[in-house]
Chain A
Amino acid sequence: MVDTDNFTKVAEVGDIPEGEGEGYDVNGIEIAVFNTGDDYYAISNRCSHQRAPLCKAGDEKINAEDTWTGERGGLNAEACTVSCPWHLWEWDLETGEHEASGQRIGTFDCVVDGDDILVRI
């Protein structure tokens, strides 16, 4: 049983497909929530490099079939990272760290309670 005091419901299980992320505004704070299949992770939605919205990571490219990778950045469930849709900086979903620059963005506790996905801001 999870102690869900101070958590806010952002979505329901099934709203965020496995391997993808969704963006939410919680009391004015933008977060992106990713579903790795095993877990959900919540991270600041704004990349500290140039403020790209991380919730767009993994979106299909224009004419994806004529490119090699098909998607703009995206979730790496195994490494538990997300790469930014603009310049592919890789963000650790647990620590919020970008290893090469040492920069860090906010991460938020994220739990599943029954059918609800909750985030502590």
Chain B
Amino acid sequence: MESSVKRLDSDAEVPPEAFDDYIVDLDFHVNPLEDELLEYVDDERAYDKLTTEFGATPVMGKWDAAYGIKEGQEGLFTQGRAKYAEDVEEACEPLAIDEPIVNPGINNLNLQHHPVLKNAVCQAANDYMLDHFADEGMYTSMMIPKWDPDYAVAEIERVANENNIVAAYSWFDPKVPWGNERFDQVFEALVENDMPLLLHGSLAYWPQHSYIGDDMLTWTEVLGFDWPIHAMVTVVNMIMRGVFDKYPDLDVVIQEGGHWWVPFLRYRMDEFYEMHPEDVQITPRKMESGDRYLEKAPSEYLRENIYLCTQPFALPRNAGDAENLLDLSMAEDMFIYSSDWPHQTLDPATWFYTSRAFDDNTREQILNGNATEILDI
């Protein structure tokens, strides 16, 4: 029999079926070069200080976790480094990503000491993204400072109405969780501008400033579990403290905070709340409204207001188990595909085509349905 031999010269890196689907990627990182970013700082005094030898983010995130990565710190750029829209387009093509939602992932910014300089970097990042991405027709999430809710609102008012700005990007971390009432003005501005709040894991609070974190020595503990713990706490805090009763139209997306914990939260929150709901009335928002209870079972807010990015998916290999877990995790209502390009934890959309766990509807909801529901795209 004649052998058939073909050179594989296609650029495609994911299964062919992926190119037939509409894929929205809600966590695509852009990494501007520092000097190009700082050119966008408006305030001359801030610019002067940010361009000293200390740079824009002088306090480094403690990155012990990189010992777990073959190329160490290079894990941040395993796939490359996107500076402009054309770089993103080039990266998305072989991965069948149709709609990357880009963010300026300066994830150690909230660790920095100086509030004025941090705000200046935030302003510069938003203007850089407007110039190089939003104005080039690419959907962009603007950055908002968690450390300064007043300034977050001012930035939302300045930037949110620009074309192609579709979400606000900030962080969950071990500091003040987002259920705190100080963030109400931010929620109000987001709802008014019809933008979801994307909360990403923060390099800034990697194992430091917390006793338990300081004893985490491995990548598996730190990225695998430290972030999800803070993500879970953030979500429960927002639900139980009545954020979504006050702002029912607010959508929150957790990025890189894990997703298979949904069944745990879902059943445990409801059980605990139903047994002992009497303290809800003395939380500040309920004190103000005079309501005694939450308006819904806690798990309902999970389904309606919270979304979780899927990367890294870590799908059980057994398709039956995976299907059950997707179902228990309300994946159809809560999961949104994300690649995390260009990091070591990259998640191309292969799972959806190599596992029999997904029916057409679940696959579509994760790849685009949930994202298009909350983003104006």
Residue numbers of A with Cβ under 8 A of B are: 8-11, 22-28, 30, 45, 50-53, 55-56, 61-64, 66-69, 72, 83, 85-88, 90
* B354 interfacial by beta-carbon distance below 8 Å: yes
Please, which residues of chain A bring their CB within 8 A of the CB of B346?
A: 86-87
Please report the C-alpha to C-alpha distance between residue A10 and residue B5 in the assembled complex, in whole angstroms.
6
Contact (Cβ within 8 A) B70 A90: yes
Please, which residues of chain A bring their CB within 8 A of the CB of B90?
A: 62
Please report the C-alpha to C-alpha distance between residue A9 and residue B2 in the assembled complex, in whole angstroms.
11
Contact (Cβ within 8 A) A23 B7: yes
Please report the C-alpha to C-alpha distance between residue A8 and residue B78 in the assembled complex, in whole angstroms.
34
* Distance between A70 CB and nearest chain B CB, rounded to angstroms: 9
Given A50-B348, A66-B83, check contact A8 B77 (CB 8 Å): no
Contact (Cβ within 8 A) A62 B78: no
Q: Would you mind naming 18 contact pairs between A and B with Cβ atoms under 8 Å apart?
A: A8-B3, A9-B5, A22-B7, A22-B8, A27-B5, A52-B13, A52-B348, A55-B8, A56-B13, A61-B79, A63-B81, A66-B81, A67-B74, A68-B73, A87-B346, A88-B69, A88-B70, A88-B71
Please report the C-alpha to C-alpha distance between residue A87 and residue B350 in the assembled complex, in whole angstroms.
14
* Distance between A110 CB and nearest chain B CB, rounded to angstroms: 13
* Distance between B95 CB and nearest chain A CB, rounded to angstroms: 10
Contact (Cβ within 8 A) B71 A24: no
Please, which residues of chain B bring their CB within 8 A of the CB of A63?
A: 80-83, 87
Please report the C-alpha to C-alpha distance between residue A86 and residue B311 in the assembled complex, in whole angstroms.
13
Contact (Cβ within 8 A) A61 B77: yes
Within 8 A of A (CB), among B70-125: 70-71, 73-74, 77-83, 87, 90-91
Proximity string of chain B (334-348) to chain A, C-beta cutoff 8 Å, 1 when within and 0 when not: 000000001011111
Contact (Cβ within 8 A) A88 B344: yes
Please report the C-alpha to C-alpha distance between residue A108 and residue B77 in the assembled complex, in whole angstroms.
32
A8 — nearest CB in chain B belongs to which residue? Answer: B3
Q: How many A-B residue pairs have CB under 8 A?
A: 94
Contact (Cβ within 8 A) A26 B5: yes
Chain A contact residues: over half helix, strand or loop, or mixed? mixed
Contact (Cβ within 8 A) A72 B70: no
**How many B residues have CB within 8 A of the partner chain?**
34
* B52 interfacial by beta-carbon distance below 8 Å: no
* Distance between A46 CB and nearest chain B CB, rounded to angstroms: 10
Contact (Cβ within 8 A) B91 A24: no
Within 8 A of A (CB), among B343-369: 344-348, 350-351, 354
* B212 interfacial by beta-carbon distance below 8 Å: no
Name the one of B5, B81, B351 contacting A8, with C-beta atoms under 8 angstroms. Answer: B5
Contact (Cβ within 8 A) A50 B80: no
* B33 interfacial by beta-carbon distance below 8 Å: yes
Contact (Cβ within 8 A) B78 A25: no
* B4 interfacial by beta-carbon distance below 8 Å: yes
B12 — nearest CB in chain A belongs to which residue? Answer: A53
Please report the C-alpha to C-alpha distance between residue A64 and residue B78 in the assembled complex, in whole angstroms.
10
Give the one of A22, A28, A30, A86 with max B CB within 10 A. A86
Proximity string of chain B (58-78) to chain A, C-beta cutoff 8 Å, 1 when within and 0 when not: 000000000001110110011
* Distance between B139 CB and nearest chain A CB, rounded to angstroms: 19
* B6 interfacial by beta-carbon distance below 8 Å: yes
Please report the C-alpha to C-alpha distance between residue A30 and residue B4 in the assembled complex, in whole angstroms.
12
Contact (Cβ within 8 A) A67 B5: no
Within 8 A of A (CB), among B16-49: 31, 33
Contact (Cβ within 8 A) B78 A72: yes
Name the one of A51, A67, A87 contacting B77, with C-beta atoms under 8 angstroms. Answer: A67
Please, which residues of chain B bring their CB within 8 A of the CB of A72?
A: 78-80
Contact (Cβ within 8 A) B3 A67: no
Contact (Cβ within 8 A) A88 B5: no
* Distance between A24 CB and nearest chain B CB, rounded to angstroms: 6
Q: Across chains A and B, which 7 residue pairs bring their CB atoms closest together, nearest first?
A: A62-B80, A23-B8, A61-B80, A67-B77, A8-B3, A25-B6, A63-B81
Please, which residues of chain A bring their CB within 8 A of the CB of B69?
A: 88
* Distance between B156 CB and nearest chain A CB, rounded to angstroms: 30
Please report the C-alpha to C-alpha distance between residue A25 and residue B3 in the assembled complex, in whole angstroms.
10
Give the one of B33, B79, B344, B345 with max A CB within 10 A. B79
B71 — nearest CB in chain A belongs to which residue? Answer: A69
Please, which residues of chain A bring their CB within 8 A of the CB of B74?
A: 67-69
Please, which residues of chain A bring their CB within 8 A of the CB of B87?
A: 62-63
Please report the C-alpha to C-alpha distance between residue A50 and residue B73 in the assembled complex, in whole angstroms.
22
Name the one of A51, A67, A68, A83 contacting B350, with C-beta atoms under 8 angstroms. Answer: A51
A25 — nearest CB in chain B belongs to which residue? Answer: B6
Please report the C-alpha to C-alpha distance between residue A53 and residue B9 in the assembled complex, in whole angstroms.
11
A66 — nearest CB in chain B belongs to which residue? Answer: B81
Please report the C-alpha to C-alpha distance between residue A69 and residue B342 in the assembled complex, in whole angstroms.
13
